[in-house]
Structure 1
Amino acid sequence: MREFMVELTTAVPEGTDPAEVDRRRAAEAVRAGELAEQGRLFRLWRPVGEVRSVGIWRADDESDLRSNVLGSLPLWPWMTAAVTPLQPHPNDPGPTG
């Protein structure tokens, strides 16, 4: 599997029922946990003071990432994604703990 850095920004459409937003956010947390267990979601951060998320995701290719991984997120219809394919760096120290 390849790794991708993904910046996700969610914009809830005007007029969306708050109960629907809550339902999707709860389902999003469950789905993120499932993707982490599958090795598809490796790391996820939220920059301080921002509403976007930045993560390291794993997929066979960008099509698989968008269709089968990110596309399975309950909030995906409200998200925009900036996807950057990654490759190993020769000076990568590896996992740090």
Structure 2
Amino acid sequence: MLYLVRMDVSLPHDMPAAQAEDIKAREKAYAQDLQRQGKWQQLYRVVGEYANYSVFDVESNETLHTLLSGLPLFPYMKIAVTPLAPHPSSIR
């Protein structure tokens, strides 16, 4: 199943820089591993925001929830999920 996911990140302003950098490094490694597995198919930055749009291809809602809640930045995110289906007019 395909999902379009918007993730908005809001780190606490008083979070120590070293802690923020550690979380971001773990987030990058986790995201890149999911991309290599083919589960996180596309990742786009939202210009001017600490946010992204991503396309996930996973088996179920539960699988997506597990992947997203495993993100190191998850506690600092607002996430919106839109399930996707093929459009009948698409040539792909």
Task: Name the TM-score, length of structure 1 as normaliser.
Answer: 0.86
1:62 aligns to what? Answer: 61
Counterpart of 1:89?
87
TM-score normalised over the length of structure 2 = 0.90
DSSP-derived class of the 1:28 partner? helix
Structure 1 unaligned segments of length 5 or more: list them.
none
Opposite residue 9 of structure 2, the aligned amino acid is T
Name the CA distance, whole Å, in 1 between partners of 2:91 and 2:26: 35
Give CA deviations for 1:28-63 in whole Å, capped at 9, x if unaligned.
111111001111100011122222100101222222
Aligned residues: 92
Asked if residue 17 in structure 1 is aligned to residue 16 in structure 2, the reply is: yes
- Percent of aligned pairs sharing the same letter: 32
* Superposed CA RMSD: 1.3
Instruction: State the Cα deviation string for residues 52-86 of structure 1 (Å, max 9, x = none).
Output: 1001012222222112x111211111111000000
| Cα distance in 1 between the residues matched to 2:70 and 2:37 | 13
Q: Which runs of 4+ in 1 moved over 6 A?
A: none
Q: Which runs of 5+ in 2 are unaligned?
A: none
